Structure formats: structure tokens, C-alpha cells
């Protein structure tokens, strides 16, 4: 990220207290994605686009300018809102203040309270999860809502709601849940190829999808999966869950091909990402899709502008 962009983001970093008050007032069992979407929507009153539009002087060709302002304001606040939700929900509300000397990934890791190299994990995660082809549910939803001239707060909140489904962004949470199911069944030992194949077939035969595999648009292994795989091979090659994922990469595609339904039998971004979060101590899977949403918002905001 350029120095100039980082400075602009830092200037508008602070999030108004009322947003945190709203989050604190929500029932303790609210899903983190609901909290994230609510916080974004609550800030709609701050929209520069709405102010200028309501002035009656905004020309169509200039819509992008206050939208750009809204984008900056919103994106700068998302890491602080996400980490606030995490600390509120899972760390007894022990909130860590932001440190403006750090870059976005560094500050996020700091506010989450997770040591290095989690700052690098955050940078990688946000970049890889930003929008990649605009046809997926979250990006499409963001565009659709913005096409009604609803401002970025409405559109990014809606984007978040689309991402929250198990066939989309929540798949990263599903993968971990599913992997832990295998892990518990195997008593923690690394399954043989045959045992893993059986587990995959059992899942398919029970009428479920294999989370983390398949894609609506891609027809090959997701490059974002490969980037995360490289990271795992470097930083956590001996992690048992990574070994499971590695084994799945080998056994699932031939099974999906044999089953003959999925147009793309290869792993997607979600197959690998939860394992990395788990390894660095972020064990609350419910939170994983919020991380996805922070990254995705960068891509969708850019596309809407």
C-alpha cells in the first residue's frame, strides 16, 4: 500500500463511539457477521455521498467523488471494528487501542492481540480476499445495491450479508468445522489416503457439499489457495490440520470428478484459510468470515467507485 494512501487512511481512522455502543448493546450470541454488518449500516448517517446528493447540486459524472470519500472513511474503520468485535465477543471485552504508527495489517494484528507474524497473515489475508471477479455473491450484491444509488454503507453492509452464507464466505468456517470432525474421528492421527477418501464420500453421500472445493467461476485450483498453501509450506509444514488440508487437495478432486456433478473439482480460497488462522491462535471459527469481509470490502469499494 502506498505511503500516501496509508496516511490518508490513518487520518480518518477513528471510529465514532456510537458504533461501539451499538455493538456492545447487541445480544452476546449475535454472530460476528451480523455485528459487522450492523456496525457498517449504523454509520450510514456519515455518508458524504448522501449529503452531496441531497444538496441537489451533485452531477451524475461526479457521483464517484463523494463515493470515494465514503470508501476511504469506511475502509479505514473496518479493521478497528472487526478487531473490536473479536475482543468484545471472545476476550471479555478487553479492547486494545489502535496504534497509528503501524500499517493496516500491523495495526489489525496489534488490535487483535496476536503476535507476529500475524501482521503478515493479516496483510496476505486482506489482499487475497479482496474482490477478484465481481461475479461472486458478495461482490455482485455490493454492486447491485450500489446500482440503486444506495451509498457505500448500504452496499457494503449488504455485501457482508451475502458473504455470510455457508456456500460463500462462511465456507472457511465450515472447512474448519468439517476438518475437526475428521480430526476427532481419527483421534488426532493423520488419516491414510483411504480413510480420508471414505470420509469425503461419507460427506457427499450424506447430501452435503465438500466445503472449500468448487467455484462458480474458476475452473482450476484457486490461485489464492495456492498462495496460502505456499505460506503454509513455509511457516507450518508440520501442522496436523495443514497435513489434513494437503491430503484433501490430493483426494477430493478425483472424487468430485468421479461423482460428476461439480463443474470445478479444485480447492478454493476457503479450503486453506481457516487452518492458518487456527495455527496463529484465532480459534473462534465464527469470526473467520469477518476477516474475509474486511478484505473483500477493499475490492468491492474500489469496483463500485
The residues annotated with a catalytic role in the active site are: 168, 215, 270
* C-alpha closest to that of 275 among 245, 238, 248, 231: 245
Site stretch for ligand COA (CB under 6 A), options 19-27, 39-47, 151-159, 214-222: 214-222
Min dist. Cβ of residue 44 to ligand COA (A): 28
Q: Which is nearer to ligand COA, 24 or 263 (CB)?
A: 263
Residue closer to ligand COA, measured from CB, 115 or 257: 257
Q: How far is the CB of 129 from ligand COA (least distance, A)?
A: 10
212 forms part of the interface with ligand COA (CB under 6 A): yes
How near is the Cβ of 33 to ligand COA at its closest, in Å? 15
Q: Does 129 bind ligand COA (CB under 6 A)?
A: no
**Matching residue, cell 447491485:** 144
Task: Give yes or no for residue 98 binding ligand COA (CB under 6 A).
Answer: no
User: Which residues, listed in sequence order, are joined to residue 213 by a DSSP beta bridge?
Assistant: 267
CB atoms within 10 A of CB 165: 14
Binding mask 234-253 for ligand COA (x = CB under 6 A): --------------------
228 near ligand COA, judged by CB under 6 A: no
Whether the CB-CB separation of 203 and 162 falls below 8 Å is answered with no
Nearest to 49 by CA among 150, 121, 147, 125: 150
Which of 76, 88, 124, 171 lies at the binding interface for ligand COA (CB under 6 A)? Answer: 171
* Rounded CA separation 129/125 (Å): 6
Question: CA 181, CA 179: separation in Å to the nearest integer?
Answer: 5
Query: Least separation, in Å, of the C-beta of 279 and ligand COA?
Result: 20
Instruction: State the minimum distance, in angstroms, from the CB of residue 210 to ligand COA.
Output: 4
- List 115, 167, 233, 257, residue binding ligand COA (CB under 6 A): 167
**To 10 degrees, the CA torsion angle through 230, 182, 265, 133?**
-60
**What is 1-61 written as a DSSP string?**
--HHHHHHHHHT-PPPHHHHHHHHHS-TT--HHHHHHHHHHHGGGG-HHHHHHHTT---GG
Q: Is residue 210 a contact point for ligand COA (CB under 6 A)?
A: yes
Binding mask 178-207 for ligand COA (x = CB under 6 A): --------------------------x---
Q: Which of 72, 125, 213, 292 binds ligand COA (CB under 6 A)?
A: 213
Q: Which residues of 49-70 are buried (b: 16+ CB within 10 A; e: fewer)?
A: bbebeeeeebeeeebeebbbbb
Separation of alpha carbons 210 and 229, rounded Å: 18
Alpha carbons 257 and 219: distance in angstroms, whole number: 12
Q: How far is the CB of 179 from ligand COA (least distance, A)?
A: 13
- Give the x/- contact pattern for ligand COA in 257-286, rule: CB under 6 A: ----xxxx---xxx----------------
The neighbour count for residue 22, using CB atoms within 10 Å, is: 15
Closer Cβ to ligand COA, 89 or 129, answer by number: 129
Instruction: Return the residue matching grid coordinates 509444514.
Output: 237
| Nearest residue to the partner ligand COA, using Cβ | 214
Tell me which residues touch ligand COA (CB under 6 A). 167-168, 171, 204, 209-216, 261-264, 268-270
Amino acid at each position: 500500500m502506498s505511503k500516501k494512501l496509508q496516511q490518508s487512511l490513518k487520518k480518518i481512522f477513528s471510529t465514532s463511539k456510537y458504533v461501539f455502543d451499538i455493538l456492545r448493546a447487541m445480544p452476546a450470541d449475535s454472530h460476528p457477521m451480523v455485528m459487522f454488518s450492523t456496525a457498517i449500516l449504523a454509520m450510514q448517517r456519515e455518508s458524504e455521498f448522501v449529503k452531496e446528493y441531497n444538496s441537489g447540486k451533485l452531477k451524475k459524472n461526479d457521483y464517484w467523488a463523494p463515493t470515494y470519500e465514503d470508501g476511504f472513511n469506511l475502509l479505514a474503520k473496518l479493521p478497528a471494528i472487526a478487531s473490536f468485535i473479536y475482543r468484545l465477543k471472545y476476550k471479555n471485552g478487553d479492547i486494545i487501542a489502535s496504534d497509528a504508527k503501524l500499517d493496516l495489517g500491523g495495526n489489525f494484528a496489534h488490535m487483535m492481540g496476536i503476535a507476529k507474524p500475524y501482521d503478515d497473515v493479516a496483510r496476505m489475508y486482506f489482499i487475497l480476499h479482496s474482490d477478484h471477479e465481481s461475479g461472486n455473491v458478495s461482490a455482485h450484491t455490493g454492486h447491485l445495491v450500489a446500482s440503486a444509488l444506495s451509498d457505500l454503507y448500504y452496499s457494503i453492509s449488504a455485501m457482508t450479508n451475502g458473504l455470510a452464507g455457508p456456500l460463500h464466505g462462511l465456507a472457511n468456517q465450515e472447512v474448519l468445522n468439517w476438518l475437526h470432525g475428521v480430526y476427532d474421528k481419527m483421534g488426532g492421527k493423520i488419516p491414510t489416503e483411504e480413510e480420508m477418501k471414505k470420509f469425503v464420500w461419507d460427506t457427499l453421500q450424506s447430501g452435503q457439499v465438500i466445503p472449500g472445493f468448487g467455484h462458480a467461476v474458476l475452473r482450476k485450483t484457486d490461485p489464492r489457495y495456492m498462495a496460502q498453501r505456499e505460506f503454509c509450506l513455509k511457516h507450518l509444514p508440520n501442522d496436523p490440520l495443514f497435513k489434513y488440508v494437503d491430503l484433501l487437495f490430493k483426494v477430493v478432486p478425483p472424487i468430485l470428478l468421479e461423482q460428476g456433478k461439480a463443474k470445478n473439482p479444485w480447492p478454493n480460497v476457503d479450503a486453506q484459510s481457516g487452518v492458518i488462522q487456527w495455527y496463529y491462535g484465532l480459534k473462534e471459527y465464527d469470526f473467520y468470515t469477518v476477516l474475509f469481509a474486511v478484505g473483500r470490502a477493499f475490492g468491492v469499494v474500489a469496483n463500485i467507485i
